[in-house]
Amino acid sequence: MGSSGSSNKPKLGFLAGAIQLQVPIINSREDIDRQLKVITDTVKSMKSGYPGLELIIFPEYSLQGLNTKKWTTEEFICDIPGKESDAMADACKEAGVYGVFSIMERNPDPNKNPYNTAIIIDPNGEIILKYRKVFPWNPIEPWAPGNEGIPVCDGPGGSKLAVCICHDGMFPELAREAAYKGCNVYIRISGYSTIVNEQWKLTNAANAWHNLMYSISVNLAGYDNTFYYFGEGQVCNYDGTTLVQGDRNPNEIITAEIFPVLADNARKSWGLENNIYNLGARGYVAEPGGEKTTHFTYINDLANGTYKLPWDDEIEIKDGTIYGYPKEGGRF
């Protein structure tokens, strides 16, 4: 099902590595440039130390940090492609690995806020997936909500990769969407502080189990003079069990052997607990082929743009004013 870590490539599947990067303190463009070198050097050193690595994963905010006073200023925002993604691509090509990176991306619409974006780069140095965070962490984050869905791409060892970012992992709907599109290795990159440490571990396991796929998750670690970030990289098996669990150490590296063929086999051969199939084939023992229609009100309401909770009018916080953002939202 997987190992507690290794340094060499398995005969089947692939070896993944995730680093609980020390949270960077970023106050200027020069700080971003220095941090970019830290990231690209880390790609090369991880590959050197773990020769079998085929996938290297960095947490959210690894490049631009969490300086909320400058988050959306021009000097802090990057383009994709741009010099930052080009440097990451060069590092992946030199090391011969897939890499997952976090970049706060300029919005093509100058009147709208930037995106919180993740990219996957292949060993040829090509960007093969770009994902924009669907659920920015309200009411703290000012990022525009992602508008390109949940893309899936081919990865090493027969994997189909998808990425979610931090708070996205709290929504089972996103993990299910990724799985529905074929993902068998779900990557979660985060910059969470300690307030949701236990929920992080619970949802990583649940996302894997509900969808019969591996999940690989990694968080920033350390202190940035405001918050403490808990690290705790985690790899979960497709049955929801935790294969690897990191500690709270900054720059700790976790590795795990991943066997996508086993997740694929479970999806195709399991009868009991094949819930991702059963969702669209209810009661197939009683009704050949199963019931295909849905009676879930929230799904229909989401599709129709009419989603509203019974207590919607009583919700007290619906904007970012408690963090100093304008009530009307928009670019600032």
Task: Please pick, among 47, 54, 60, 78, the residue that the annotation labels catalytic.
Answer: 60
Task: Please pick, among 84, 92, 130, 133, the residue that the annotation labels catalytic.
Answer: 133
Residue whose structure tokens are 């500690």: 247
**For helices 83-95 and 29-49, what crossing angle results, to 10°?**
10
Tell me if residue 257 falls in helix, strand or coil: strand
Separation between Cα atoms, residue 190 and residue 218, nearest integer Å: 6
| Closest among 265, 264, 255 to 14, alpha carbons compared | 255
Separation between Cα atoms, residue 101 and residue 121, nearest integer Å: 8
DSSP result, 95-147: HT-EEEEEEEEPPSSTTSPPEEEEEEE-TTS-EEEEEE-SS--TTT--PPPP-
Beta bridge partners of 120: 100, 129
Task: Please pick, among 78, 92, 153, 166, the residue that the annotation labels catalytic.
Answer: 166
Judge whether 60 counts as a catalytic residue: yes
The answer for residues whose C-beta is within 8 angstroms of residue 260's C-beta and 6 or more apart is: 13, 157, 158, 159, 160, 184, 185, 214
27-to-22, 116, 235 alpha-carbon distances in Å:
16, 18, 33
What ranges in the chain are assigned the alpha helix state H?
29-49, 83-95, 172-180, 197-211, 260-269, 275-278, 297-304
Tell me if residue 208 falls in helix, strand or coil: helix
| Closest among 38, 47, 61 to 17, alpha carbons compared | 47
Cα dihedral value 193, 92, 43, 194, nearest 10: 10
Judge whether 133 counts as a catalytic residue: yes
Annotated active-site positions, please? 60, 133, 166
